[in-house]
Amino acid sequence: MAKIKKDRREFIQYSTLGILGLVLAGGVVGAPYLKADENRLRPPGSVEEDRFLALCIKCGQCLQVCPYHSIKLSDFAKGYGIGTPYIDARERGCYLCSAVPCVLACPSGALDHSVEKPEDAHMGIAVLINPDTCLGITKQPVPRKHIDRIYGHPHTREVEEEVLRKLEEFDGKACTICADMCPLSNPLSAIAMVPHKDGGRRPEIYDGCIGCGVCEELCPVDTPAIIVKSRVTYDEYYKKGKKV
């Protein structure tokens, strides 16, 4: 009887170690592939990705000062860079606070302090990835359910309520949300609605776009028509045809 108990104990111990080993091995082996697969949107001022991963001390200061709940910290499910800050644009883009407090709060240099205003940041570039679903092109009114979707995101602060107030103005109207809600002080440097060849109007992206992700967050279709390609520049995507 005592032997059976001992065997069971050993089985449980070794099984647990085995599973743990597999998980860790999977993480180590899989991490570079996960990293290659996913180019994560980082907060404004983020230095180049490998340096960012080396410098970020995972203190969460950037997240704490962000008034829009834009920044999350990677968890185990993300596979690499655990504890580092990122932005899930569909959940909440970066609203480009004028003094970029997230950068000021960063003590490690992972967010570069030479970025003193939003226009200095280069997070990525917006791309009209699904033109077939763009309501501006198809001339469909903005559906209520996609305004309600944004109410499901955090909105405990006045600045977040202000976003919702502006968004309400599009309910049932022609969609120009990506262009009209772009938070840059000069949004026309980044995006404008232009006539589409088949009728309707489509968003056109310019080199002032810094890839904040707000257009992706607010785009009122199930699969966003417009998304942000992180760490890609305007020239790389629109002039050199880099498809990433």
User: Which residues bind to ligand SF4, rule: CB under 6 A?
Assistant: 43-44, 65-66, 68, 70-71, 94-97, 100-102, 126, 128, 134-136, 175-178, 182, 184, 190-191, 203, 209-215, 219-221, 225-226, 228
3-state DSSP assignment of residue 25: helix
Q: Which is nearer to ligand SF4, 17 or 57 (CB)?
A: 57
Nearest distance in Å: CB 89, ligand SF4: 8
Q: Which is nearer to ligand SF4, 31 or 206 (CB)?
A: 206
Nearest distance in Å: CB 110, ligand SF4: 13
Nearest to 196 by CA among 224, 155, 220, 225: 225
Q: Which is nearer to ligand SF4, 56 or 215 (CB)?
A: 215
Measured between alpha carbons, how far is 187 from 195 in angstroms, rounded to an integer? Answer: 18
Q: Quick one: tokens of 32? A: 């570079």
Q: Which is nearer to ligand SF4, 110 or 226 (CB)?
A: 226
Q: Which is nearer to ligand SF4, 56 or 228 (CB)?
A: 228
Q: Which is nearer to ligand SF4, 81 or 220 (CB)?
A: 220
